[in-house]
Structure 1
Amino acid sequence: MTERAARKRTRSHCKRILIPSAARNYKYTHQDLHGGEKRKLVTAMGVCGPTRLRWGPVVRVLVLQAAWALGGGQVRYSVPEEAKGGTVVGRLAQDLGLEAGEAEARRLRLVAQGRRASVEVSGASGALVVSSRLDREELCGKSAPCALRLEVLLERPLRVFHVEVEVTDINDNAPLFPTATKNLSIAELITMPGSRFPLEGASDADIGANAQLSYTLSPSEHFALDVKSSDENMKSLFLVLTKGLDRESLAEHRLVLTAIDGGRPALTGTVELLVSVLDANDNAPQFNQSVYKVRLPENATEGTLVTQVGATDLDEGINHEFSFSIVSLVPAAKRDIFSIDAQTGEIRLRGPLDFEEVRLYELQIAARDMGVPPLSGHCSVMLEVLDVNDNAPEVWVTSLSVPVPEDASVGTVVALLSVSDRDSGANGRVRCAVWPPAPFGLVATFAGSYSLVLREALDRERVSEYEVEVRAEDGGAPPLRASRGLRVPVSDVNDNAPAFAQAVYTVLARENNAAGAELARLWARDPDEAGNGRVSYSVAEGGAGAGAGAGSGWRPASSYVSVDAESGRLWALRPLDYEELQVLQFEVRAVDAGEPPLCGNATVQLFVVDENDNAPALLPPAGGGPGPWAAGEASASASAPGSLWAWAAWGAPAGQVVAKIRAVDADSGYNAWLRYELWEPRGKGPFRVGLYSGEVSTARALEEADGPRQRLLIVVRDHGEPSRSATATLSVSLVEGAEAALSAAAAAAGASSSGAGVRPAAGAEGGAAAAAAATNVWLVVAICAVSSLFLLAVVLYGASRWAPRAAVLAGPGPATLVCASEVGSWSYSQRQSRSLCVADGAGKSDLMVFSPNCPPPPGPAAENASAEKGPSLSPYSSGTSSFPRNH
C-alpha cells in the first residue's frame, strides 16, 4: 500500500478536532494495519484507535482550552441529564487558571441567571459538580440546546467569568400515544383500497435523535401504515386500506401501532387500533383543503376566529349530513384552547396563546357524516403563533460592591447586573442605561451581562450617597421597560483641609487682664467626617518685640497666649501691658486627624487696649535747672532744696509768662491727655496756669503788696477713668526789674536752645545799663536763631507743598475726631501731626486735633481767653495743645 493510500485510510478512521496553537506540536503514532509501518501524523489533532483511549483526558482539556481561547473568556461544559449528585461537570478552578487553594481563598462562587441552578462549585477543589437532579425536559422543555448560563465571581480582585453548562439529552422518555386504544370504523365494500385514515402520532419529551420517531404496524393483509413528514419534528400518520374489507369474513381487526424513538437503546410506545367493519355509507365528506395554514399573534383574545373549514359529502339524505370535530392536536397538552363549531366549521380560541411556550400548533379536523356506518373526512390546520412584545425585560443585581471610596479611580466596577427578555427577535433585544447618567455608567461584558462602573470622580462632601436606577428597554413597538434601583453610598477620605471662617482675626484685649482670661474663640470647618473632620488647634508662629519697660528682645506668641486644642478658645497666659505690647500678631494652625493630616492657618492680630494705669510724671527742668521738680502727690516749700523756682519783676503786666510746667504720661489717648490746675493759692491770686499748656503767667500786674515770694501748688491730671494726677510746687520770687533781668540772663545762660523748663520774666522798664547791654547781646543771638528757624520753616513748607500727598482741609467748622480702628485708642493723621519737644524729653508725633478754628488775633484779650477756656487746638495754630501717646 502506498503512503498516499495509507494517509487516506488513516483520515477515514480518525476524527479531526481543532485545538489551540499551543497544542499543535503533539504527535500521535498510528499503526498502518496493512503495511505494518508506523507513521507519525502531525495534524491539528488526530486520534483514533487505541491512541484515542489513551489521550482522551488530554483531548478534553485541550478542547476546553480551545473553547476558552475562542470564546473570549467563556467556559462551556456539558453534562448529561439525570446525572447523579456530586458528578463532576468540569475542573472550573483549573480551567480558569487558578492555583491550588486559590478558588477557596478568593471565594469562587456561582450566580445563576433567572433560573434555579442545579450545579455548584466545590469549595475545596474548585470543581463544578451536580448539586441536584438535572431534568432537561423540566429545565428547557423542547428547546435545544438546553444551556444553564452561569456567572462565576472571584473576589479580591473582583472578576466575573461566564460559564455555560449544556444539559445533554438522554433517552429517558419513551414515545407516548394519547390513548391506549384507538377505535376505527370502516364500511365494507364501499371503502375502496387506498383509503386513508388519519392516526394520532406519539409524542416524545426528548429532543434530537432521541425524539425522532419511526412507526411500525403489526402485520396485516388489509392495512398498511403511511407516514408523511410535514415538519422535521412533526409526522402525519395514516392507516391505509390495502385490500377491501368483508364484514362477514372478519368484523373486527386488531392492529398494534408501535412508535420507536431514535435513542440508544431505543424506547417504544404502542397503541391498539381496533378497526370495526361497518356496512352501508360509502362516501366520506371531503374538505376543500387538505391543509389550512393560519398565523395569529400571541396576544389574540379569547373568542378570536382562527379559521373556518369547509367540506362536502356526495351522499344524499342522512349520509349527506356531517359535523366537524377536532380529532387531535399537537401538542396534546393544549387541546383545550381551541373549539370548533360542529355545524359551521369555525375554529375559535378558548384560551391564551403564548409564543414563548408553543410556536406552532397542528390540529386534525374531522368531518363525520350521519350515515350508517358514518364516514369521515380529515384535514390539517397549521397555526403559527406570532411573537408580540408581551414580556418586559428583567434586571438582576448579581453583585454589589459598596460603599465606594470617594477617591476610587474612574472605571472601578461597582455592581454586576444581568438583563434578559423572554421575547424573541427585536422584541427580545434589550437596551440598558443608567440614570442619572453621571457619575456611573454601564459597560456590556457579555450577552445580557453588564457592569456598573465609575465614570467620574466622586466627592463625598458634595454627594454622600447616590440612588442609581438601571433602566432596561426592549426593541418592541411599543417598547416595554423595567428598572432596578441601587443605593450606592460613598465613603470618606481625607481630601479637605480645615478652613477658618476668616483669614485674619482681629482681637481686642484690655491691658492688665487676668491670666487665663478668654480672649476669643476660633473655629475651622472641615467637611470630612469622623477622624478626617476632627480638628485640633495650636499656635503656629508669631510674636512681638518687648518694650523698654520689660527689657529688650523678641518674645514668641506662645509666651502671651494659648489656644485650646479641641475648642479653639484663645486664652491669655499672663496679664498684658499696653506700655510693653500694643499689637501681637501670630498664626493659629488647625490640623485634622486624617491620614495623612491636612492643616489650615489663620492670622490673629491681638490689639491691647490701653487702661489708665500710669499717673502723669513731671519732667526735670531743661538743661539741668537750678532745682529738681517735685513729683507725685508730694510738694515742697519754696525754701526747701529741690523746689521749683522762678523770678518775676514787680510791675510786670498781666499775661507775662513766668514759668512752664512739663509733664508726661506713659499711657495713650485720653489717658495721656494732661491738664494743669492751680490749687494754691485759690481765689484772685497774682498768677494763673494754662489749662493744657502748663505755662504759669501773671493774672494781673504784680505789686509790692503781693510779697517777695509766691508759693504755687499746681496739680497735673490726665483724662482717664478714673483720672490720675501729680503735683508740682513752684516758688516765684518777686524782685526789681534789673535784678530780674540779671536772673533771667543767668537762667538763659544755663539753659539749652531747645527751651527751658522755667521761663523767667522779661526785663522790666528802666533796667540798669549793664543789664541792658547783656540783654542786647542775647537779643541779637535770639534774632539770628529766629531768622534761621524762619528760613528753615519756609524751605520745609515749600517741600511739603510739592510733595505728593493728600490734601489737608482747614477752616472753621466743628471739631473732628478720627478713630483708627476698633482698638479704641486715638490715632492721628501724619499730615496733621506736630512734634512737641519738651526740653530733653522724647518727641511724640501723635496729636489730637479737636477744632480747626483759625487762631485768635494776638493780644492780651486772646491770652485771657486762652487761659480761661483752654487753648483752641488747630494744626495751624502756634498754641496747639497735644497730649503724648506712648509708642
Structure 2
Amino acid sequence: VTRYSVPEEMKEGSVVANLAADLGLDVGSLTERKVKLDILHSKKYLDINKDTGELYVLEKIDREYICNIKTSSCFLKMDVTLENPIRIFNFEVEILDINDHAPHFRKETMHLDISESTSVGERFSLNNAVDPDYGSNSIKTYHLTESDHFNLDIQTGSDGSKYANLVLKKALDREKKAVHNLILTAVDGGVPARSGTASIIVRVLDVNDNAPQFDRQVYTVNVSENSPIGSLVMKLNAEDLDEGGNAEIVYSFTLYTSEKTQDLFSLNSNTGEIKVKGVIDFEEIKTLEMHIQAHDKGINQLSGQCTVMVFVIDVNDNHPTITITSLKTAVKENVPLGTVIALVGISDRDSGDNGIVNITINQQLPFALNKSSDKDFALIVSEPLDREKVSEYDITFIVTDRGTPPLSDNETITLELLDINDNAPLFPKSFYTIPVMENNGPGSLLSSVAAVDPDLHENQYLVYFIIEKEIANTSMSMLFSINPENGDLYALKTFDYEREKEFLFHIEARDSGVPPLSSNVTVHIIIVDQNDNTPVIVSPWSAHGSVVEEVIPRSIDKGHLVSKVIAIDGDSVHNSRITYQFLQLTDATLFSLDQYNGEIRTMRMFSYRDARHQRMVVLAKDNGDPALSATVTIKLSTVEQAVKVYSDTMEVPLEYDIFSDLNLYLVISLGAVSFLLLMTILVTIVLKCQKPKPTKAAPPVCRNSIISQRNSTIADSTLISSDAYWYSLFLAETRKGKVVVRQPVPKAGYIISSIPRSTGLTETSESAASTLQV
C-alpha cells in the first residue's frame, strides 16, 4: 500500500503524486492498459490524469466532512487497476488536519436561573463548545468576561475535551441586579488560534427578603364633607423590591383603625385605592386616622405600615336654625311699644363663614328685632297696632348664613290681636232719606238703619234706639219702632200724605263695650202720595146731584164758551192732574171740550136742524195709577132770546158739602163773621200785592189776587182763569187748620177767605188770613 499525505486545504487541480512514476510505468502504458481508479468514499475528490499519470485533486478536500467522526487519522483509499495483465495497486491518501474551523457553541445563548440565596462556591455546568478540528487545532481553553460574582472552572475529559463550569464567587442580590449577562469564549490550539463565543444570561431568582415599603410613613389628605359615595380619596402605592408573588402586595386596615373610620372609607386590597364609603359629616367628626398595612404574598409574608390622616373640610351643608322661646300668641291691640313678643335664638352647625347667620323678618310688619347677642334676639312691638286694620300677623323669621352658596331657613309665628272697644258704631250714611207710601199697614218695615262696629264680640254687639222727639204732642216712639238688634225701622201707624208729609228724628247705635261707645244718624221719613182721592167736580155746580141744566141762546157764535168743567183732586200734583173728555154727546159736531181746562165751546153756530135740547156727559180723570175719575151730565137748552149768563147781584151760597173734611158747625159760625172783617182782609191782600217784598222778584200776577171772568173767551191753562187753582188753595188752607169761606162779591165773582182755626184773627207769617178774589 502506497500512502500519500495531503493537507485538507489543497485546492482543485493540485497534484498529489505521480502514480506512473511511483508504479514504474510510462504514460503510454497507462493509456493502453486502461487504468481504472476507484476511490473509496471520496471518488469525487481525486482523479488520475492519464496523459501524465498524476494524481490530482478534483475539488477542495474537507477532512471534517470525509471523516465525520473525530479521529487522529483520516484516509482516502484508492484502488488502481491495470488490464492486460490485470494488476491492482492500493493507495492511501492521508488527509492532514489544518485549523480551518473555529470553536462554536451549539446554543449561542445559555440561560441560568440562580436563586439569590445560592451559596458562594456553587457550580453550574455550561454547555461546552465544539471544534471539528483535531488535536491541537481543537478546543484548548475557555474564557469568561469579567464578573464580580462568577468565574470559570475548566475541566478536561478523558478524551481530552475541555469542559467549563460557572462558579459563584459572590452572593447574588436580585434587588440590586436581577440579571447577569456573561460572555463565554472557547479558544482552540491552532496557529493562529480560532475562538467562538456564547452568551450566558444568569437570571437571579427572587427570594422574599424585602418587605413592602410606603414612600411615607404618614399621609395627609383633605376630604370635603358630604363627598359622593365612591369618590377617590387617594391611592396608596407601597413597593416591594422582590418579584412575583413576593412582590404582590395586599392592602388592609390594621386593628388600630376604628370601626367608624372603616364605615366611612373603603380600601381596595389590590390597588390600594381609598374611597368614600359613608356620609362624612364635618359637624360630627373633623379628623379621621387610618392605619394601613401592606403585605406581600411570599411564603414568609413580609409587611409594611403607614398612617393616613384625613382632615374633613367643612361644606355649607347645614341650614341655619331658629329657636323661639317666650312666645306670646295673643296681645291686646293697645299693647305698649317695646313689648316683647318672643325671644329668638339662631344657630348654624357649620363653621367659619358657613356658620355666621343673619336674621330678618318680613319688612311689611310693624315689628322690630332687638339684638342681645350674636345668637339671641328679641321681637318687640315697634309701631302702634290696630286690630281693625290687621287682626292677625304672620311673622316670618328668615335666617341666612354667609356660605357659598348661602343657605337659609324660616319659621313663621302667628300673633293674634285681642280687641278693645276703641271704635264707635259707624252708620254707612250720615243722613237717611226713607220714602214711605201713604196708607201703609201698621207694623210694616220701612228700612234698615244698621250701623257697623269693627270691634269684636261684646264690643261689636249694637243696640239701636230712637232718640225721643215730640211732634205736635206726639212722641216718635208712638209713630215708629226700631228693632234694637238689627236696626230694622217699622211704622206703628198708617200715614196719610194729605195730613203728614215728613218726619225728622235721630237713631242712636250703642255698642256693648265697657265703657260703651255710640253714634247717631238723622232719619228723614218722607210720606209719598198715593192716588187715593177721587176727583171732585166743583163746576158746573149743582145742588141736586151730578146733572146740571144750562140755558144758552141759539144765536151764539162759533167758539162761544158754553160751560166750564172744573174738577179738583186731593192728591199730590202728579196724581191730581185732571184731564177731561166727553163720554156722551148729542151732536159731536156742535161742541168741543178742552181736555186740560175743561172748557166747552161751540164749534159752529146753531142751525134750525139742531135739537133744542143737548145732552153731554163729561169725564174728569186724574193722572194716578190706577186713574180715578168722576162724571157730570150737562143738559143744554137753547132759547131764542138772550139770557144773561151771570148776574152781577147773583149770590152763590157756600156749599160745604163739597168739602168733605170741613166741620159744618165751624162753617156756620164763621159765616156770621162781620163783613167788615172780610173787607179788611181783602184790603190787606191788595196792599201786599201792590207792595211786594224787596228780597224777591214780584210775580207777574199776585198769588192772593187772581181775577177771572167766567165769560172770558180766552182759554188759559195757567193759574189765571183756573177755577181749579183756588179750589186747591181752599184744600191747602183747610189742611192747615183754616176755614175756607166762599161768598159773592158784586161785579167781581167770588172771594175766598181763610181764617186760622186756633188763633182766631191773629195774623202771623204762616197763618195770616188770606183772600183770593176770582
Q: Say which one has the larger Rg.
A: 2
- The normalised TM-score by structure 2 is 0.46
Per residue, is there more helix in 1 or in 2?
A: 1
Per residue, is there more strand in 1 or in 2?
A: 2
